[in-house]
Structure 1
Amino acid sequence: MRFRAKQYATTSDLEKAFLQIQLDEKDRDATRFLWLSDPTNTSSPLITYRFKSVLFGATCSPFILSATLLKHLKENPGPFATKARIIPLEIKSLCGDNVWRYCPTKDNPADLLTRGITSEELQQNEMWFSGPKWLNSKEDWPTWNGNNVTSSVCTTMSENDDKIETMEKNQNVCIGIGEIIDIERYNSYTKLTRITAYVMRFATNCRATETERKKDLLRSDEIKNAKFLWIRYTQGKIFSDEINCIDNSTKRKTLVRQLKLFLDEKQLLRCGGRRIDNATVGETVKFPYLLPAKDRLTHLIVLEAHENTLHSGINITLAYIQQTFWIPKLRQCVKSILSKCVTCRKVIGKSYPAPEIPPLPNERVQDATPFSITGVDFTGALTTRNRHNEESKVYICLFTCAVTRAVHLEVVYDLSEESFLLCFRRFVSR
């Protein structure tokens, strides 16, 4: 509200601050984009450009701007740097014990200038001159619940083991890799995990020095950690109540008791009720990971299992999946997904059904004299010998009665019009 107390006010353009920070030559390849060599001609060849400054609107831009300012303040001590450090203390001293409260975006008058508004609209805007409607009524002040905010998880992958260290945890909200990567864009489980592994490697390389960065091919442990990230995210999104009540021995859900669910060292939900603890099989077979039946990750896992088993039937696909995962109503899930497999429908699908036989026409079912309705056709060439033992070709003209199915045959020596008329005259003369 103090912004409108004086006659003049000063605002700054945050976009210009980003554009004044230049990118290093080695980092400019990450900002490539294509543009027409002749913007007026859409058929002109494309040219590759690179940004030389920090992009406004990129996710990493605020961090780069903040890091650059802090570095200059640290390396260039002076009146401005001192003033920049004193300003937060002055703000805190002026505020005293006042409590900062939440103002929704739609009721914030400051957003009118930062987001742009014409002078005519500003003169008629009641919120700019009087503030929000709830400002004078303390009972109507909006409140902000910080527990419902979705925050992202920052993870690092250790070099010595496969453990994933979570830097920020919040059990009241669903957080994880799904907030960064949209799983709906992928139709392959392998592609999803590999892209996730590259994203996690990029995050690790950003925090590492130049010599410690990984630039080779993906390792098996990185792909495995990417799979664990997606399993943990899916379990936290669907089975959050089951996870919270595992440590509660008094009130346990039915699914926890039936499957004997527990959390392993990677905080993944696993099943322990298969009674094969002493079998000489892998740990994932003894204690499979729990996944929901109706989820995109489960859909991708079923598709990959079906392809790895060379498009086998439902039972083989079930056996392959149950070596690693335990999915409720798995048979129904697999059956619904495999019914849409194009490859399987091509191989085992029914052939094109023959059309139904139409009813006979009236001429075929009404009483009539023979050959009143007649069909004509010719056979192929036949080879004959005359009395001089010379070979010649002949054809048979076939007259068929459509009512009685009687047949009359006539021999012709060629397929000319004259031969057919003579043949027809002989047929009529019978």
Structure 2
Amino acid sequence: DITKFNTMGKLWGVTARVINILKGKSFKYSLTEPTVENLNSAEKFWINLVQKELGNYWKLRYKRLGPTCDTEGIIHVGDRLSYWLKDNWNQTKFILLTPSHPFTKLYIQSIHCKDHAGIETTLAKLQSRFWVPRARKIIRMIKSKCIKCRKLAKKCEGQVMGPLPDGRLKPSPPFFRTSLDLFGPFFVKDTVK
């Protein structure tokens, strides 16, 4: 159950250990740290699980994004924009994730909790690998619930201005302060009498 995890590291670690046990390895592998291959297989497992939520109509639903399915069963988008993606993101395709799945929200939350950055920064980090429809809305929701961000966004108490002196409050009589601009050449003697 994905709702029992609060970080991606824990989710991938537990999933990698369970996959090792299900592959026929003994329970002693559950006590050791998972390898990179195990973590990658756990990530692919969760991506496939999220994409099963798309159903059979993903080609019609995301037709504008140019979706394709690779050999591992992972749905990618970005075929129509592959040259632009290569220039701007140094990547040709993004993995499609559904916005309603808890995995997507947990992944976005883990990106946000690394540095508690703003909405656009979190979105840019997310889009370096995944494409999530309505991602800004999810990021905004996560940021509004983040306690650390709420503390950082609080406005500090401002300085209260002191009372004005009496001289600033009473109006002065006309021509109390006057100034005059003088224009023209002035001849100055350099010698002393």
Instruction: Tell me, yes or no, whether TM beats 0.5.
Output: yes
Within the alignment, does 1:183 sit opposite 2:20 as a pair?
A: no
Corresponding position of 1:266: 72
Structure 2 counterparts to residues 155-194 of structure 1, below 5 A: 182-194=1-13
One of 284, 287, 296 as aligned partner of 2:93 = 287
Output the CA distance in 1 between the equivalents of 2:7 and 2:31.
24
3-state SS of paired residue (1:339):
helix
Q: Is the 8 A contact 2:17 2:30 kept in 1?
A: no
Distance 1:202 1:192, change over 3 A: same
Of structures 1 and 2, the one with the larger relative CO (CA 8 A, separation 6+) is 2
Q: CA deviation at 1:190?
A: 1.5
Name the counterpart of 1:300: 106
Which residue of 2 is the match for residue 318 of structure 1? 123
Query: Given that residues 74 and 95 in structure 2 are in contact (C-alpha distance below 8 angstroms), is that contact kept between their aligned partners in structure 1?
Result: yes
Q: State which structure, 1 or 2, has the greater radius of gyration over its C-alpha atoms.
A: 1
- Tell me how large the CA RMSD over aligned residues is: 2.8
Distance 2:31 2:24 in 1: 9
Q: Give secondary structure in 2 for the equivalent of 1:286.
A: coil
Partner of 1:312, secondary structure, is coil
Structure 2 counterpart of 1:17: none
Encode CA deviations 1:22-43: one digit per residue, 9 max, x unaligned.
Answer: xxxxxxxxxxxxxxxxxxxxxx
Counterparts in 2 of 1:320 and 1:261: CA distance versus 1, 3 Å = same
Superimposed CA distance per residue, residues 103-161 of structure 1 (whole angstroms, 9 cap, x where no aligned partner): xxxxxxxxxxxxxxxxxxxxxxxxxxxxxxxxxxxxxxxxxxxxxxxxxxxxxxxxxxx
2:40 to 187, 211, 224: 224
1:242 equivalent in structure 2? 57
> Which residue of 1 is the match for residue 169 of structure 2?
none
Q: Distance in 1 between the 2:142 and 2:66 partners?
A: 28
Contact 2:66 2:80 in 1 (8 A): no
Alignment of 1:334-345 (within 5 A): 334-345=139-150
2:19 corresponds to 1:200: yes
* 1:181-237 CA-partner distances (Å, limit 9, x unpaired): x01111111210111001111222447xx9xx797531111101101101101110x
Question: Could you say what secondary structure the match of 1:270 adopts?
Answer: strand
Structure 1 residue aligned with 2:152 = 347
In structure 1, list runs of 5 or more residues that go unmatched.
1-181, 247-252, 354-430
Partner residue, 2:171 = none
Q: Give aligned-pair identity as a percent.
A: 26
SS of corresponding position for 1:191:
helix
Shift, 1:348, TM fit: 1.4
What's the counterpart of residue 137 of structure 2? Answer: 332
Question: Runs ≥4 in structure 1, deviation > 4 angstroms?
Answer: 213-216, 280-283
Q: Which has the higher helix share?
A: 2
